[in-house]
């Protein structure tokens, strides 16, 4: 907490002074900060910068949003707290790390919830037409924040030093996860020994043998160089990595309505193009890893193994109603119905 207040003290010195009116733009001149969970060049920071550039152009330069990549304002837990406190106005985080503040967000961490195809399109339909997002927004609001969208960042991969082809191979595996009680319960159901660890400590943890394995999307495995100290990458087809661009509620409520609408519009409109961008990026990073380390082995579980993992994952669903906080069952039911409705509209099995 001392670290948080130290960061807060430094940043409050740079708080936009009074939001003065300027130029021909009818709203207020705004300066804000956005803390990203990822390093420069990775999905969250790239799309945070796209958001910043869009709002600057849209406002004729009167809205300035400075983006801070991972590590510049603290670790993943720190930046979510800074947003909740209003020290930074925006945070781009995910369903797991933000769950310490909004436990209901962990519903997106439930394994085998989504189909294996058209995930950005599913999320786009859910965000625009479903009942899930309003419920999620209510949960965020009670904790002083507003979710602006739900973004696909690719499928999670398990990297390890031993081959994983079945549930039996997960038994006792010391595996790093993001900080989420629900993820811990899920990987325990697979037989693993989950070990939450800060993002910046994962490489050394793998290198020194403190953990045997870790879970992340391909771009993160490449950019953080986890593949250098691992031998296998396994796709369980269980968990899309979902980012949640978020804004401090008090700050957002005080913005002009047209600014609120434009911010929401940017992030919802970005779901599908960002999904295409990250799909291409992940494919490219996969090839780069193969070239850098030809001994790496990539493997997707066969249907029989997936069925066994899925059966275990389903046993964790009821635990979300205990872990997920107030309204958890309603949120889960809404998301399940929204996904099914989206699949029907999109022709996904």
**In the CATH scheme, what architecture does the domain 155-239+289-346 have?**
3-Layer(aba) Sandwich (3.40)
Q: Which two tokens stand for residue 348?
A: 């996904």
Mean pLDDT, rounded, of the chain: 92
Q: What is the pLDDT of residues 191-244, one digit of tens each?
A: 999 987 888 899 999 999 999 999 999 999 999 999 999 999 999 999 999 999
First-to-last CA distance in the chain? 47
User: Is the pLDDT confidence value at 161 over 90?
Assistant: yes
Tokens of 291: 């070239």
Residues 287, 282: Cα–Cα separation, whole Å = 9
Rg of the chain's alpha carbons, rounded to an integer? 20
The pLDDT of residue 147 is: 98
Q: Whole-structure pTM over 0.85, yes or no?
A: yes
State mean pLDDT over 16-20.
38
Cβ–Cβ contacts within 10 Å for residue 79, how many?
29
In the 8-state DSSP scheme, what is residue 183? Answer: H
Distances (CA, A) of 298 to 127, 160, 234, 294: 32, 11, 6, 11
pLDDT the model gives residue 76: 81
Average of per-residue pLDDT across 67-80: 91
| Chain segment 86-131, per-residue pLDDT in tens | 999 999 999 998 998 999 999 999 999 999 999 999 999 999 999 9
State the pLDDT at residue 3. 52
Q: 189 or 27: whose pLDDT is higher?
A: 189
pLDDT of residue 2: 46
Question: What residue segments make up the domains of the chain, in order of their start?
Answer: 2-153+242-279, 155-239+289-346
pLDDT value for 27: 78
Model confidence at 25, in pLDDT bands (50, 70, 90)? low
pLDDT at 14 > cutoff 60: no
Specify the pLDDT at position 74: 85
pLDDT one-digit tens code per residue, 256-283: 999 999 999 999 999 999 999 999 999 9
Least Cα distance to 100 among 76, 126, 124 occurs for: 76
The 8-class DSSP code of residue 130 comes to -
Q: What is the pLDDT of residue 1?
A: 52
Q: Quick one: CATH architecture of 2-153+242-279?
A: 3-Layer(aba) Sandwich (3.40)
2-153+242-279 shares its CATH topology with 155-239+289-346: yes
Using one digit for the tens of pLDDT, what is the confidence trace for 290-320?
Answer: 999 999 999 999 999 999 999 999 999 999 9
């Amino acid at each position: 907490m001392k670290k948080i207040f130290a960061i807060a003290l430094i940043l409050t010195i740079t708080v936009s002074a009074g939001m003065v009116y300027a130029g021909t733009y009818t709203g207020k001149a705004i300066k804000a900060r956005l803390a990203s969970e990822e390093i420069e060049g990775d999905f969250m920071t790239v799309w945070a910068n796209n958001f910043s550039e869009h709002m600057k152009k849209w406002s004729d330069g009167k809205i300035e949003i400075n983006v801070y990549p991972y590590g510049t304002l603290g670790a993943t837990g720190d930046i979510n707290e800074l947003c909740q406190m209003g020290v930074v106005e925006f945070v781009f985080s995910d369903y797991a790390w933000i769950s310490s503040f909004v436990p209901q967000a962990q519903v997106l961490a439930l394994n085998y919830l989504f189909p294996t195809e058209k995930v950005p399109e599913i999320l786009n339909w859910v965000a625009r037409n479903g009942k899930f997002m309003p419920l999620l927004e209510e949960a965020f609001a009670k904790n002083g924040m507003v979710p602006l969208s739900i973004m696909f960042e690719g499928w999670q991969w398990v990297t390890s030093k031993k081959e994983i082809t079945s549930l039996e191979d997960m038994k006792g595996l010391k595996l790093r996860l993001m900080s989420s009680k629900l993820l811990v319960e899920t990987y325990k159901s697979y037989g693993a020994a989950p070990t939450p660890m800060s993002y910046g400590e994962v490489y050394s943890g793998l290198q020194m043998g403190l953990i045997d394995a870790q879970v992340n999307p391909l771009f993160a495995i490449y950019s953080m160089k986890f593949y250098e100290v691992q031998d296998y990458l396994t796709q369980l087809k269980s968990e899309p990595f979902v980012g949640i661009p978020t804004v401090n509620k008090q700050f957002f409520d005080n913005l002009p309505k047209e600014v609120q609408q434009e911010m929401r519009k940017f992030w919802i409109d970005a779901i599908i193009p960002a999904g295409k961008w990250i799909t291409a990026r992940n494919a490219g990073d996969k090839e780069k890893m193969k070239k850098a380390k030809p001994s790496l082995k990539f493997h997707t579980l066969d249907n029989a193994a997936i069925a066994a993992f899925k059966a275990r994952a389903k046993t964790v669903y009821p635990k979300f109603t205990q872990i997920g906080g107030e309204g958890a069952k309603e949120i889960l039911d809404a998301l399940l119905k929204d996904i099914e409705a989206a699949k029907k509209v999109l022709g996904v099995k």
